[in-house]
Amino acid sequence: MKIVPIPVLDNNYSYLVIDTGSGRAAVVDPSDPVAVQAAIEEEGVTLEAILCTHKHWDHSGGNAELRQRHGACKVYGSALDAVPELTNPLGDKEKVTVGCLTFEALATPGHTVGHTAFVLDAGPFGGPPCLFSGDLLFLAGCGRLFEGSPETMLASLDAAVSLGEDTLLWPGERHPPQNPLPHPQTAR
Ligand SMILES: [Zn+2]
């Protein structure tokens, strides 16, 4: 398997996760469809799934265009979160399979009511678990509490912390949001 980080916008990461054996791939939080499409073409893979952590445009802005380009591609995320183009609503602990890749949804509300992180089981490939944390957890901070209480956010962070010590963190943004906040406060 292979994970390709795609820097997008000013501060975000999308991730192209590839089952190299079959050439099937999933993308996490494709905000910029042009950048993501370029990575798909460079890697020569088939996009089968969009894993969308939450509704904000800087994580979901490419869902519609990528769905148009890749007819069989499904969009996974929480039904609580108005994810654009959602085709496959996920509950906590539900799994998504793409080729030999298995992801588990981790309900992590607080930043938004339906925020969902994704945990890739890289065990079959001899790797550690990989947490795609969206706007739950950054490298030095966490996402803003737009739609949840501090208690809700803490419970979600505890869910992330309860993953194995060897878990690799693949955050949705490169650094904690600064003030003034260039964040989609106008998002639904
Ligand atoms: Zn957000």
Residue environment code for 130-154, b if the CB has 16+ CB neighbours within 10 A, otherwise e: bbbbbbbbbeeebbbebbbeeebbe
Whole-number pLDDT of residue 177: 54
Residue spans of the domains in the chain: they are: 2-171
Mean pLDDT of 36-42: 98
Question: Mind listing the pLDDT tens digit for each residue in 138-170?
Answer: 988 899 999 999 999 999 999 999 999 999 999
CA of 126 to the centre of ligand 1 (A): 32
- Write out the two tokens for 148: 């949840």
Task: Provide the 10 A C-beta neighbour count for residue 71.
Answer: 6
27 CA distance to ligand 1 middle (Å): 17
Specify the CATH architecture of the domain 2-171: 4-Layer Sandwich (3.60)
Q: Is the model more confident about 152 or about 176?
A: 152
Averaged pLDDT score across all residues of the chain: 92
| Tens of pLDDT, residues 60-80 | 999 999 999 999 999 999 999
pLDDT confidence of residue 74: 98
For the ranges 25-39, 136-150, 168-182, the one whose mean pLDDT is highest: 25-39
Q: How far is the CA of 60 from the centre of ligand 1 (A)?
A: 10
How many Å lie between the centroid of ligand 1 and the Cα of residue 64? 18
Distance from the alpha carbon of residue 35 to the mean position of ligand 1, in angstroms: 19
Quick one: pLDDT at residue 176? 55
Give the residue with greater pLDDT, 186 vs 87: 87
Is the confidence at residue 6, as pLDDT, over 70? yes
Residue 174: the pLDDT is: 78
pLDDT band at 182 (very low <50, low <70, confident <90, very high): very low
- pLDDT at position 188 over 70: no
pLDDT at 185 (0 to 100):
46
Q: Distance, CA 41 to ligand 1 centroid (Å)?
A: 27
Tokens of 66: 């990528």
Residue 22 Cα to ligand 1 middle (Å): 32
Q: How many CB atoms lie within 10 A of CB 89?
A: 17
